[in-house]
A = this chain, B = another copy of it.
């Protein structure tokens, strides 16, 4: 049997502790499958005294991840600290500079400077694996980076934030408000005390930026993602969506258009009978549409210590199975030096169907005016429904679902409607996304 693969783990939170435990418990099976033992020779974390439920006494301890990356006797540096800057960034660079392989779960770091890191890794002939960075245990990086080699991807999209999907699912199933479901998610540990990063879509955007570069061979452009969170989705939207045969999900979507790459994160209506519509709770799902394979959808756990540790372990095992320096998998699917500049498609040019919900005063002529504004902007309607809002109010709800049109047309039509005097609330606009095959 070949020499052991020596790994150093920086960060011993939930994922890091799970990984240490699993590498200990499964040492024999892993050595058999990989053709050599995998040995933890170094670890690093902030607090040495904390009890993590795993025995670290035989492993060299570093207070500093950077020092570990610079000096430890390791083949692979496993970064599980998180954070786009600081120690995570410095230690990964230090490890790559030494020619060490790197495995990381750090989406923020990759979204910020993944191309730079890829260049470093490829110059040194090192592997940089990051399956856990997007959609937890779902092997979407491997699918895009390896399985789909030779395919031209047209669209990649998915449910990549468990917190948002949990909240939207509970709102639909229990008829509860956004605020009530958020509190519940916080109570269950599915949402942070400050949930902004999840519910406003930033977390999804980091993951989407990584998928975009893998799918389209362009530079990473996390800052050029159109972003809308779920905090203004109401129970009325969810019920109206259900009535019309749709469900609302927070999707990250990237697609190639004639004018550039469209990257967006927003609440999205998906047809009720599509497979992705059925993905509930904290579960994640990612779909990839490509020209040779067709459509591929993967569903699984997007977070959690074990699921994330499983993805990290798969990345480590891939390194263990190859002889040192023998693999040439480009970090971002294509060699980092060949990535094309990112050209952003304008959001105004986005084409698709739209759901529009208007709260209007109960007056003659309103319905006709709304329909006219749509027609004026060349928008044809799949359906238009008017409903009373209940006896105690004199307002009504008008719900429109459009056929494919442009963002610009919809914004102009809505602005025209807002210039009238009959609106009794802010219009709600939700984009519709249709899976191609299922």
Q: Which A residues are within 8 Å of any B CB, using their own CB? A: 18, 22, 26, 29-30, 32-35, 131, 137-139, 142-143, 146-151, 273-275, 277-281, 283, 290, 292-301, 304, 306-307, 309-311, 313-314, 317-318, 321-323, 326-330, 333-335, 338, 437-438
Contact = CB atoms under 8 A, between A and B. Distances in A.
Contacts of A323: 323, 326-328
A317 B150 contact: yes
A150 B297 contact: no
Contact of A34 (B142, B318, B328): B328
A396 to B, nearest CB: 33
A296 to B, nearest CB: 4
Contact of A149 (B33, B300, B304, B338): B33
B299 A150 contact: no
Which residue, of A137, A150, A299, has the highest number of chain B Cβ atoms within 10 A? A150
Given A30-B149, A142-B142, A301-B437, 7 more contacts: A150-B317, A275-B278, A278-B438, A280-B438, A281-B438, A283-B437, A297-B298
The copy count of this chain in the complex is 2
Q: Which 3 A-B pairs have the closest CB atoms?
A: A326-B326, A149-B317, A293-B310
A309 B32 CA distance: 32
Contacts of A150: 22, 26, 29-30, 33, 310, 313-314, 317
A292 B132 CA distance: 13
Contact of A293 (B277, B296, B297, B306): B306
Contacts of A318: 146, 149
A237 to B, nearest CB: 21
Nearest to A287: B299
A327 B326 contact: yes
Given A30-B150, A438-B280, A293 B275 contact: no
Contacts of A307: 292-294
A326 B18 CA distance: 30
Contacts of A275: 275, 278-279, 299
Contacts of A326: 322-323, 326-327
A149 B297 CA distance: 21
A79 B110 CA distance: 39
A148 B301 contact: no
A273 B278 contact: yes
A262 to B, nearest CB: 22
A149 B314 contact: yes
Contacts of A279: 275, 438
A292 B280 contact: no
Contacts of A148: 310, 314
B32 A317 contact: no
Contact of A310 (B273, B292, B330): B292
Contacts of A32: 334-335, 338
Name the residue in A296, A311, A335 with the highest tally of chain B Cβ atoms < 10 Å from its Cβ: A296
Contacts of A30: 149-150
A78 B292 CA distance: 18
A323 B279 CA distance: 40
Contact of A143 (B139, B294, B297, B299): B139
A317 B299 CA distance: 25
Contacts of A143: 139, 142
B138 A296 contact: yes
Contacts of A309: 292
A299 B438 contact: yes
A293 B299 contact: no
A338 B29 CA distance: 11
A151 B281 CA distance: 24
Contacts of A277: 278
A297 B306 CA distance: 17
